[in-house]
Structure 1
Amino acid sequence: MMKKTKRILALTLTACSLLSLTACSGGKASETPTTEKQAAGETTAAEKTETAKGEGKREKLVISTYLADAAQVAVREKYIDGPLQEAFPDVDIEIKMYNDRQSLQVEVAGGGGPDILDLDGPTDVAEFAKADRVLALDDYAAKYGWQDMFYDWAYDSCFYNEKLFSLPTSFEGMVIYYNMDVMEENGWKKPETKDELITLMKEMKGKGIIPLSFGNSNYQGAVDWLYSTFTSCYAGPDVLRKALTGEGKFTDPKLTASIQTMVDWWTEGWLGDNASQSITNEDMMAFFAEGRAAMMINGTWASNQLNTTYPDCNWDSEMMPKDPEIGSILPFATGGGYSINANSKNPDLAAEVLNFLFTSMDRHYASINEAGYQPYPLKDFDISKLEGMDPKMFDQYQLLMDAQTNNQIGFCSWTFYPSDMRVYMNENVDSMFLGVLSVDDFMNKSQEYLDAALASGTAPVLPE
């Protein structure tokens, strides 16, 4: 796995990623249902809490998150910490911050770590599950009815070796952003097709404007935003699904051509101005917001930062300009995954806390409406509850909902690609950009990792 993940980056960039804060505590989950435990004289999580209270002790739940500034912590306290403490008044809830994913992984591997782990989506969770560091949640899912709560595509992606190891923490996707001031000043219209986009990028480049802002010098893995978009939108989700499920191959000519298109756009200077390896993610956002670049391929999570850091930026977002043979596609992902640490001493209480987070809908709607958090992928999510919020943010959420309704779903790597395959791809896209690695060699090696995952049964589940 790369040293930094998309979720780590998002946490440093926007308050919305801080939605991934939860609480939990320990030990291996018993396969005995709660009613049978009671019959056998065993105590439930709530009973343990009451016992501890009577003995003058308090349960403690530790929640993992990554470093955040004071403003982000204040938002988190309003929408996560406070509601949790109110719902669980007899539990001490600690939010423990980590510098990076590696420090969290080391602590868990050493037999410790927080009770609830906020991880970087299904591919990240799979690494912990492979090492038996997180608990299977199937019994809790049956108890709380989680399968019926989530969209199938998001819930199914949380399985590893046919067991549920996480719950999806947000509903996000890849879109193209337009700086509308730059577009209007130059008389440019938003392109509707891939060919129109290419024509527009040539004109932008000729005027000294970076067509597509991109930089990954402080987060190499940001390239997965790109290849997730190009494979989904310009090879097509049907071809990609067949490759990822083993019905086809990742070396399919259409998938190879989509990666070649990405490399060609970088080589032309349309994507990252031939300098993405020396441009930070923060610079990428600044170039776009300040008009040095006219467009940007980024996730829906970036909208909150644009509104908070660059309030004067007149931006809009859409699905990528389409290939007419494929149609408009929006690559989907879950933004993270809540897992229960295998070292936790009270997994029952941890699961109870997770269930609260996903069922306290008034809190959830307020966090989206007032703080720009990404929505949970819940079937009962009602977008009308967001009316009156920032119109650009509302339009973006509507875009996600419409894409789902119209089956225009593509597949982001951090949710639907095998973890080892994704690691290889993230670490080697820059080599293709710089001409050190051929596209064919990149695709062949990626296929090897995919084959291994399919053979071992560890490839993520894809929606039909």
Structure 2
Amino acid sequence: MSLAGILAACGGNDADSSTEEAQNGGDEGDTPSDVVETGDVDQGVEASGDEDVVLDMWIHQTGEDETDFYIERIDAFNEANDHIHVNAEIIIDDGGSSYSDAVNASLVAGNLPDVLALDGPYVASFAEADILMAVDDYLSDEDRSDFVDSILEQGSYNGELYSLGAMEASVPLYYNKDIFEEEGIEAPETLEDAWTWDEFMEVAQELTTEDRYGLNMFMNYGVGEWLTFMGAPFVWSNNGDIISEDGTTSEGYLNGPETLEALEYVKSLFEEGVVDLTPGEMQFEEGNAAMALGGPWIAVSAEDADLNWGMMPYPYSEQMKSPSGSMAYGVTTSSEHPDEAFELMHWMTNEESVEGLSEVTGMPPARISAFESMDKYQELPWSIMREQVIETAHARPQTPAYPVLTDAFAQAFHAAALGEDIQPVLDQQVQRVERELQRFND
């Protein structure tokens, strides 16, 4: 089965990681050409031949610090396991979808690696295509209970677990402390004090002036995964969903009354002029927006800009929900050494790896034990992100039709931002999703 169509949406503008998750790969039938071999290989130490098992692993390239961390962890795994040696390939990021192309080409050629990095929302596509093997039997109950629920949710398909992530993601409501102090506005500091939609709108309007927007939603990221990642919680918070729980239909969900009401609210934010449809890249960091719905990477850029900033919980309608999901690892069905491959997958997601990756990237950890051991998550502002990841995080739907579903929602969200009549757009997008779902429902 060719995954060219299924995986096409995996690349491009994906805001699930601390850097752009654009991915890269190589030529059909060969090892991907644009790769950096790592593990001990990168340092000139080849497998000695005494190892019982040699594993291949693919990792997408991100920022230099994050990539170096992956290399260090793989090197440490090789040193700790005399009977296993990992040959890892860091596939170079070219800003496109080449990582997906590499997976597709290697699938056709029959040379997939033993362990594969993949974007969490696409686990179902890989599982449905029989690329990933279920790992439930390998994971102990104690270990399973240490992962935050959203990591297990994003890694599961049809009741089986296929992937584990080392880091999570979230979208808090950032705010400019100086502006809030000037305007006499008190920011909520716990989930219990989170703003409702009405309260959020009122404050956003109050903070909007001729020279400043009340809110930045980073619409400059484009019409892509960001709009689903950041925007779908408006629907979930309104007791809605964008696909049925059993994944068989989007009719009555993506175009249902809860989704319509949520996008009408989003539409009103733009109609009231509190959000800029075309913000500058550093609008929030430069003080030209008082608040921002952004990922963990905004904390890094705000800190670099010397901004006096804080975090608040994601605003809600009927129930508190927040974005989640990031890169994960899976064992491929083509691996001849699944036991050892899971050992590697587990190593890359154990507490030491999870904690170290969080320190390097600023992304929240995937394990509860890491949250408990890291001091920064015990106090503001990062306690907000801890609370969201543990208590309100909601994974995007696991369906093999996800590439079409997420584009359909993003198109509808963008239509709302443009002030269009939303119901006809939703109805049209549902037709697209239903056609795609037929492929998997038959």
For the superposition of Structure 1 and Structure 2, which TM-score range results when normalised by the shorter chain? 0.7 to 0.9
Matched residues in 1 for 2:245 and 2:74: separation? 38
* Residue type at the aligned position of 1:112: N
Say whether 1:354 aligns with 2:317.
no
User: What are the within-5 Å matches in structure 2 for residues 281-360 of structure 1?
Assistant: 283=281, 286-300=282-296, 302-307=298-303, 309-310=304-305, 312-323=306-317, 326=318, 329-359=320-350
Give the alignment partner of residue 274 of structure 1, picking from 274, 277, 287.
277
Task: State how far apart, in whole Å, the 1-side matches of 2:301 and 2:310 are.
Answer: 13
**Which structure has greater helix proportion?**
1
Give 3-state SS (helix, strand or coil) of 2:348's partner: helix
Check conservation: 1:319, 1:330, Cα contact below 8 A: no
Corresponding letter in the other structure for 2:313: M
Deviates more, 1:243-252 or 1:170-179: 243-252
- Match of residue 177 from structure 1: 174
Identity across aligned pairs (percent)? 18
Instruction: Give a deviation string over 1:278-310, Cα, whole Å, max 9, x none.
Output: x5xxx1xx2111211111112345434544x43
- Consecutive unaligned residues of structure 1, counting only runs of 5 or more, are 19-51, 459-464
Return the alpha-carbon distance in structure 1 between the equivalents of residues 357 and 230 of structure 2: 28
Q: Describe how 1:132-211 pairs up with structure 2 within 5 A.
A: 132-141=130-139, 147-152=144-149, 154-190=151-187, 192-211=195-214
The CA distance in 1 between the partners of 2:134 and 2:341, in whole Å, is 13
> Hey, what's the Cα distance between the residues in 1 that align with 2:426 and 2:250?
16
Kept after mapping to 1: 8 A contact 2:58/2:91: yes
Question: So what's the TM-score if we normalise by structure 1?
Answer: 0.71
Q: Please name the residue that 1:386 is paired with.
A: 374
Checking the alignment, whether the CA contact within 8 Å between 1:64 and 1:97 is kept in structure 2 is: yes
**SS in structure 2 at match of 1:189:** coil
Of 441-450 and 203-212, the range deviating more from structure 2: 441-450
Q: Does 1:264 align with 2:252?
A: no
Q: CA deviation at 1:178?
A: 0.7
Answer with 244-253 or 112-121: which moved more. 244-253
Query: Secondary structure of 1:171's partner?
Result: coil
Which of residues 4, 16, 35 in structure 1 aligns to 2:11?
Answer: 4
Give SS of 1:173's match.
Answer: coil
Separation of aligned partners in 2, 1:120 and 1:5 = 12
Conserved? CA contact 1:173–1:300, under 8 Å: yes
Distance 1:302 1:145 in 2: 34
Quickly say closer, same or farther: Cα 1:62–1:210, change in 2 above 3 A.
farther
| CA distance 1:98–1:438, shift in 2 (3 Å) | farther
Which secondary structure state, in structure 1, belongs to the residue aligned with residue 284 of structure 2? helix
Give the residue type in structure 1 aligned to 2:396. S
- For the residues of structure 1 that align with 2:143 and 2:13, how far apart are their CA atoms? 26
Between 205-214 and 154-163, the greater mean CA deviation after superposition: 154-163
Residue 249 of structure 1 is matched in structure 2 by 252
Partner of 2:283: helix, strand, or coil? helix
Matched residue, 2:423? 440
- Contact kept? 1:228, 1:411, Cα under 8 Å: no
Separation of aligned partners in 1, 2:186 and 2:11: 36
Letter in 1 for 2:387: L
Structure 2 CA distance for aligned equivalents of residues 175 and 418 of structure 1: 28
Structure-1 separation of matches of 2:323 and 2:68 = 29
8 A contact 2:132–2:333 mirrored in 1: yes
Q: Which amino acid aligns with 1:227?
A: G
- Measure the CA separation in 2 of the matches of 1:442 and 1:254: 15
- Give the distance between the partners of 2:77 and 2:348, measured in 1 at CA: 8
Aligned-partner residue type, residue 411 of structure 1 = H
Tell me if the contact between 1:174 and 1:330 (Cα under 8 Å) persists in the aligned partners.
Answer: no
Letter in 2 for 1:258: A
Distance change >3 Å, CA 447–CA 115, structure 1 → 2? same
8 Å Cα contact 1:58-1:92 kept in structure 2:
no
SS at match of 1:421: helix
Q: Distance in 1 between matches of 2:10 and 2:148?
A: 30
